[in-house]
């Protein structure tokens, strides 16, 4: 079976954290679609949120990960697309509940607000928690 593709992108504040999560994803057996940036210069987070959400919209990946300093800018930018449910998570409880209740398809984590282990734990929980459906599907349908 082909490995699931996970898209990932950041801004300059999140590039080191992005590369660390990319390594982890590869170790876990995922194929990573790295949408940049690939160098440390200052960039604008909306450009990279747009690249990742466009890739999801085109079906290149079903799920993605975005990082910036706080995760807030990336969350705001990503959620402008109606098919994106991007969740800014600060710990595994956020990551678990946003999968169970919101069927989040993009995990957003802060590079300046969280430690590497917390980001990794959020990612693992995000990837391995199923959506509960039912009343939660009805609520999602109201946003579609």
Active site residues: 68, 101
Binding-site residue total for ligand RB5 (CB under 6 A)? 8
The pair phi, psi for residue 118, each rounded to 5°, is -65, -40
Q: Is the CA virtual torsion 75, 22, 54, 96 positive or negative?
A: negative
CB atoms near residue 101 (< 10 Å): 15
Which of 6, 8, 13, 33 contacts ligand RB5 by CB under 6 A? 13
Write each residue from 16 to 55 as x if it is in contact with ligand RB5 (CB under 6 A), else as -, in one continuous string.
Answer: -----------------------------x----------
Q: How far is the CB of 29 from ligand RB5 (least distance, A)?
A: 29
Q: How far is the CB of 13 from ligand RB5 (least distance, A)?
A: 4
Task: Map residue 8 onto helix, strand or coil.
Answer: strand
Distance CA 53, CA 40 (A): 22
First-to-last alpha carbon distance for the chain, in angstroms, is 31
Q: How far is the CB of 86 from ligand RB5 (least distance, A)?
A: 13
User: Strands of 106-110's sheet, edge to edge?
Assistant: 31-34, 5-10, 63-68, 106-110, 86-88
Q: How far is the CB of 45 from ligand RB5 (least distance, A)?
A: 5
Q: What residue number has its CB nearest to ligand RB5? A: 73
Write each residue from 62 to 91 as x if it is in contact with ligand RB5 (CB under 6 A), else as -, in one continuous string.
Answer: ------xxx-xx------------------
11 binds ligand RB5 (CB under 6 A): yes
Helices 15-27 and 116-128, axial angle in degrees (round to 10):
50
Question: Which residues in this chain contact ligand RB5 in the complex, by CB under 6 A?
Answer: 11, 13, 45, 68-70, 72-73
């Amino acid at each position: 079976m082909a490995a699931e593709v996970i898209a990932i992108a950041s801004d300059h504040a999140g590039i080191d954290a992005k590369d660390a999560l990319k390594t982890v994803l590869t170790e876990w057996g995922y194929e990573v679609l790295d949408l940049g940036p690939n160098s440390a210069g200052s960039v604008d987070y909306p450009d990279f949120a747009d690249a990742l959400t466009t890739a999801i919209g085109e079906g290149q990946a079903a799920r993605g990960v975005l990082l910036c300093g706080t995760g807030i800018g990336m969350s705001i930018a990503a959620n402008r697309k109606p098919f994106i449910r991007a969740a800014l998570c600060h710990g595994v409880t956020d990551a678990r509940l946003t999968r169970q209740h919101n069927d989040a398809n993009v995990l957003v984590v802060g590079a300046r607000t969280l430690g590497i282990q917390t980001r990794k734990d959020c990612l693992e929980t995000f990837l391995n928690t199923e959506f509960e459906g039912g009343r939660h599907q009805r609520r999602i349908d109201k946003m579609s």
